[in-house]
Structure 1
Amino acid sequence: MRGEVPPPFAVRRFLPLPTFSYAPEDLHTGAPGERDFGPHVDQTNYSVIVDEKVVVKWLTPPVPLPHPTPEIFGHLVEAGFNDTAPPYAALTRVVDGREELLALVTGYLPEARDGWEWCVDQAEAGTTGFAAELGRLAADLHLALSTLPGAPRTMTSAATRAKAALGEAMELTGGADGHWLAARAGVLGAELAALDVPVTSPLIRIHGDLHVGQILQWREGYAVIDFDGNPTVADAEPYQPAARDVAQLTTSLEHVAQVAIRRREVPPARAAAWAAQARAALLAAYRARLAAKDRADLLDERLIRPFEVEQECRELIYAARHLPRWRYAPMGVLRTWYPEENSS
């Protein structure tokens, strides 16, 4: 990874790799040089930890280039964004004249836990101090990504995409949940209609799959990971309003509350209050950070709620197509937002 790479392979380097030095006496310590994360970690791809220093994520299967991550890694290094696992390299190869991405090499963050663990702990405890730090992190990420060139002047109609997601969610969601959605089709459609307004905030390269599961809590703070985009949304536009990422992050707090209700027996009213407080603190910190950097224009507040509603529709689609047991989370959120008396 440091020297010459034999064809058809190639390495794109972003930061210098850490030092791996072994003396003869180190060879028989019994400590593994490589290990995986174990079956308890849900991964789309396959990751290996090497010497407790780096993580090699093998894409399974390899993905044809262009791929968003190498470009974003290079730009985040150039922009000085450090709240992520250090990006070291991308391994590619050429097959039949076309280059494909084989693996990504990043730093290993000691004692890291993803948000479906640490954030559920926070919900159970009723503490929201973390939320301001997440808002600051998300703002800094968007400030860095906003300087990545190539943004288009316009985007495909956000309202058209959102209404299609609502229709698909209603089609795929059966039983009592389906009847509940059908009774609130007008309310949900009215929320999404707010996307019919022209987008006035800049279009930036967004993370695309920004939820608490992508934010690690580790020994030295928080880090956002996984810039591969949303695997469940086909042909998602890479340049969108920052509010898209913000809405996915805030709805993931609502999902954490639902997980806490289901798995930790947190009373629903207390979980809902926690989610509302955490959401408010995250948004306040996000706005403050943008304002401090004179970039308040990056966030169009009008888009957050309709994007949140669309995100819940996408969660229902994901549950129907890939993970049926997940349906309880978006349905729990929607039932919290739209109580029984608000069905007209």
Structure 2
Amino acid sequence: MNSDSIWERLLSLREKPLTERDRGLTAALLGMWEDEVPAPFEVRRFLPLPSLSYEPADCHIGGPGERDFAPHVDQTNYSVVVAEQIVVKWLTPPVPLPHPALDVLAHLARTGFPHTAPPYAALLAGSRVLALVTGYLPDATDGWTWCVDAAESADTAFAPALGTLAADLHLTLATLPGEPTGRSGDARVQDQARRAEDALDEALALTDGPDGAWLRTVAGRLRAELTPPPTAAPMIRIHGDLHVGQILRWRDGYAVIDFDGNPTVAEADPYQPAARDVAQLTTSIEHVAQVAVRRRGTAPERAASWAAEAKAGMLGAYEARLAENGRPDLLDKSLIRPFEVEQECRELIYAARHLPRWRYAPMGVLRTWMEKA
């Protein structure tokens, strides 16, 4: 595969995404990045690429080997591992600029944030992002596996590490320049509250059958919890889609990945209270409990108790880390509950539109909340 054919193939990505039939293209492309790339392509470099080593079995192809992720890995895009050192995530389809990951990955690289896959580069074509290039983390397992294992065994030892990681991420992102000026953060939060009510209305309209009938009986209580109190919390750059599936447990600990933003929320403000990420992380722990009940046969009461303990451990470590660094102001805890309720509404919308079998998880969380109340 020569360079001309590679660039020609990449120009066709909008109509014809990469698949396993393009084996070898990704590794060959990385080898060409030392040279200037032809128009309309652009490489934005964050960190130097590692030197790619060859295994003996790769000698016949004249370059480092590449492989897809295992078939069981649930992902929207198409990722390729090169030489067991680099992951190239091909966006399917390519995403128009501005893309939230570019500024965040550049900032994490500049600050030396250690709890993520090393951010190396992004490949653009004109005004679209084709691919994001990061380091490969050996022996990595995503949270929908390792955290469900923890729920099944009633193990909450991971929770403090999770809270510390999230706090370190927010402490780093809080130093990213570009916080919006003009309207106050509280005014923006109140605007978001109106969008949250719209999300509840949409969830009610899309959830049918017995689940929908039950949801309508508690709609008033949910609506009352959606309204956030006035807040002085600073608006910082947030992850935007921080759930346990974005937390890898790998050979050297835990790492947060995927800074592409929330694919289910159109035009989300990248600058929000840190409580937005915290709420999504806490609700995802409760979703894990529902998965353990559904798929592992864990008793509902035991799963709910595990989730409550894990959330408390995570939040305690998160707050302690902020306090250690003199930034307890980053978290307004009174915002967590409204954001949690909104997140469950959005989970129901996502299930109705894209993944009907997922509805059991947000419905299980909502029923647990209402029974507690």
**TM-score, normalised with respect to structure 1:** 0.94
Matches within 5 A, 1:1-344: 1-22=33-54, 27-28=59-60, 33-94=65-126, 99-152=127-180, 153-154=184-185, 155=188, 157-193=191-227, 195=228, 197-339=229-371
Q: Take 2:157 and 2:346, find their aligned partners in 1: how far apart are those partners?
A: 29
The code of the aligned residue for 1:41 comes to: V
Q: Take 2:280 and 2:211, find their aligned partners in 1: how far apart are those partners?
A: 22
Alignment check: 8 A CA contact 2:54 2:65 kept = no
CA drift of 1:22 comes to: 4.1
Cα separation, partners in 2 of 1:13 and 1:180, compared to 1, 3 Å: same
Cα separation, partners in 2 of 1:7 and 1:120, compared to 1, 3 Å: same
The number of equivalent residue pairs is 335
1:275-331 CA-to-partner distances (Å, cap 9, x unmatched) read 000000000000000000000000001000111111111100100010000000000
Secondary structure of the residue aligned to 2:91 is strand
Q: Take 2:153 and 2:134, find their aligned partners in 1: how far apart are those partners?
A: 32
The code of the aligned residue for 1:188 comes to: L
1:227-259 CA-to-partner distances (Å, cap 9, x unmatched) read 000011111111100000000000000000000
Alignment check: 8 A CA contact 2:52 2:64 kept = no
Secondary structure of the residue aligned to 1:184 is helix
1:120-156 CA-to-partner distances (Å, cap 9, x unmatched) read 0000010001010000000000011111122124325
Which ranges in structure 1 are unaligned for 5 or more consecutive residues?
none
The code of the aligned residue for 1:328 comes to: Y
Q: Take 2:314 and 2:109, find their aligned partners in 1: how far apart are those partners?
A: 25
The code of the aligned residue for 1:104 comes to: L
Quote the RMSD (CA, aligned, Å).
1.8
Alignment check: 8 A CA contact 2:206 2:349 kept = yes
1:185-229 CA-to-partner distances (Å, cap 9, x unmatched) read 111111112x1x333100011100000000001011010000000
Alignment check: 8 A CA contact 2:235 2:272 kept = yes
The code of the aligned residue for 2:105 comes to: F
Cα separation, partners in 2 of 1:23 and 1:198, compared to 1, 3 Å: closer
